[in-house]
């Protein structure tokens, strides 16, 4: 890969007072403009990996680190979190815990004020990102008077407004209803397509990730277990099962059919692919 925007080189990390490392010798390059889904069971190190992308690991956590993370040419060990914040936007897994301002407008403005964005530009961007995440009309609402789903959207808007080159989202849709989840993934897809924003997203919802992601990385016990295009990774039903992840339902269907003696030409990973592989009744 020529000049990746994220380059993780042999990264190992162990939190203080714990017995096992959270990450073990992880090496991963991500090119600008990729949409990477990170999956894996609880405790696999997904959150730790996210935190290492803007320097919170190791700067704000106690623990031992080995290896290197280079973000847009900056070594995270040599750069502060505040400086990396200009390149990497971060959405944490608990939406409510990351909001601190009196209104949505000010929540979004916070990062812009800190990086010295002029006031007119700030107002324009606030308007823009509120529209992007579907919160137009909520600018003066207190984040505490919002539902969990709305808070999650606001946290995303606050990160987006800083126009990061890399946007990292750690389980950003855990409290959202199905349509809300869909909206978050498609906003990310839109930014990815139109602005070339690099997306790294931790997500359990494998069916949706199969359609949106350009790459899937599966972590297991702190290591990269599988890594590649969704079509290549998600078809490995048994390998996924072995590390405590799962394949999309349609892929599992193909797997079961094959187990029961019906040959399947090509494993589908999305609904559309499944309909192509198993032509609809009557069409045949």
Partner 1 sequence: MTTPPIVCDALGHEYAGGVLALKPTTLTIQPGEVLGVVGQNGSGKTTLVKHFNGLLRPTSGRLLINGEDARPRPVHDLARHVGYVFQNPNHQLFATTVEAELRFGPTNLGLTPETVAERVQQATSFFGIEKLLTSHPYRLAFPLRKLVAMASVYAMGPDVFVLDEPTTGQDHAGSNMVRKLIERLREQGKTVVIVSHDMALIAEVADRVLALWAAEVIASGSPRAIFAEDRVMQRTKLYPPQITQFARRWAPASTRPLPLTVAEAAAAVLGEER
Partner 2 sequence: MAQHLPIPVVFVPRNSFFHRLHPVPKLIWAVGAIVMAFATRNPLVLLVLFVLGILFIAGAGVMRAYGRVMLVLFPISLSLIVFQALAPAFPQPWTPIAGFGPFTIYQEGIYSGLSLLLRTFAGSNFAVLLVLTTHPADLFTALQKFGVPHELNFMVSASLQLIPIVQREFQIVLSAQRSRGMRATGFGAAIPSMVPVFAGTIERVQQLAMSLESRAFGSKGAKTSLREVRASAKDVIFGLIGIVVTVAVTVLVLQYQAQLDWSKTPFMPDWVSVALVAVAALTFIAFTIALWWRASRE
- Pattern 26-65, binding to ligand ATP, x per CB under 6 A? --------------x-xxxxxxx-----------------
Task: Choose, by CB under 5 A, the member of 7, 47, 76, 87 that binds Mg ion.
Answer: 47
Hey, which residues does 274 pair with through a beta bridge? none
Look at residues 267, 265, 266, 220 and name the one whose alpha carbon lies nearest to residue 247.
267
Is residue 186 within the footprint of partner 2 (CB under 8 A)? no
Task: Choose, by CB under 8 A, the member of 171, 200, 216, 217 that binds partner 1.
Answer: 171
Is residue 257 within the footprint of partner 1 (CB under 8 A)? yes
Under 8 Å CB-to-CB from 226, ≥6 apart: which residues?
216, 217, 218, 233, 236, 239, 240, 243
Task: Choose, by CB under 6 A, the member of 147, 186, 190, 249 that binds ligand ATP.
Answer: 147
Hey, which residues does 71 pair with through a beta bridge? 6, 74
Look at residues 20, 21, 17 and name the one whose alpha carbon lies nearest to residue 66.
21
Is residue 89 within the footprint of partner 2 (CB under 8 A)? yes
C-alpha distance from residue 177 to each of 156, 160, 216 (Å):
16, 22, 23
User: Does residue 54 contact residue 90 with C-beta atoms inside 8 Å?
Assistant: yes
List residues binding partner 1 (CB under 8 A): 40-43, 147-150, 171, 174-181, 204, 207, 244-246, 248-250, 252-253, 256-257, 260, 262, 271, 274-275, 278, 280-282
Which positions touch ligand ATP (CB under 6 A)? 15, 18, 22, 40, 42-48, 147-149, 177
> Which residues would be at the binding site for Mg ion (CB under 5 A)?
47
């Amino acid at each position: 890969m020529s000049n990746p925007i994220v380059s993780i080189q042999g990264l190992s990390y162990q939190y203080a007072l714990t017995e096992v490392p959270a990450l073990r010798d992880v090496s991963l390059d991500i090119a600008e403009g990729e949409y990477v889904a990170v999956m894996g069971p609880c405790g696999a190190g997904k959150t730790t990996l996210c935190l290492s992308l803007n320097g919170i690991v190791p700067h704000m956590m106690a623990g031992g680190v080995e290896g290197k993370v280079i973000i847009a040419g900056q070594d995270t060990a040599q750069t502060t979190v505040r400086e990396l914040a200009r390149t990497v936007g971060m959405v944490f897994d608990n939406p409510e815990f990351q909001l601190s301002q009196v209104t949505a407008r000010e929540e979004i403005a916070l990062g812009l004020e800190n990086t010295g964005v002029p006031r007119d530009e700030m107002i324009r961007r606030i308007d823009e990102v509120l529209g992007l995440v579907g919160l137009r009309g909520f600018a003066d609402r207190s984040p505490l008077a919002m539902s969990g789903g709305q808070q999650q959207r606001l946290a995303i808007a606050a990160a987006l407004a800083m126009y990061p080159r890399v946007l990292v989202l750690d389980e950003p849709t855990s409290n959202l209803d199905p349509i809300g989840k869909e909206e978050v993934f498609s906003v990310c897809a839109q930014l990815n397509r139109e602005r070339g924003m690099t997306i790294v997203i931790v997500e359990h919802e494998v069916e949706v990730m199969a359609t949106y992601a350009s790459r899937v990385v599966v972590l297991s016990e702190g290591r990269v277990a599988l890594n590649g295009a969704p079509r290549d990774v998600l078809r490995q039903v048994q390998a996924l099962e072995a590390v405590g992840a799962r394949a999309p339902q349609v892929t599992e269907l193909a797997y079961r059919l094959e187990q029961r003696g019906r040959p399947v030409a090509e494993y589908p990973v999305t609904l559309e692919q499944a309909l192509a592989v198993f032509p609809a009744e009557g069409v045949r």
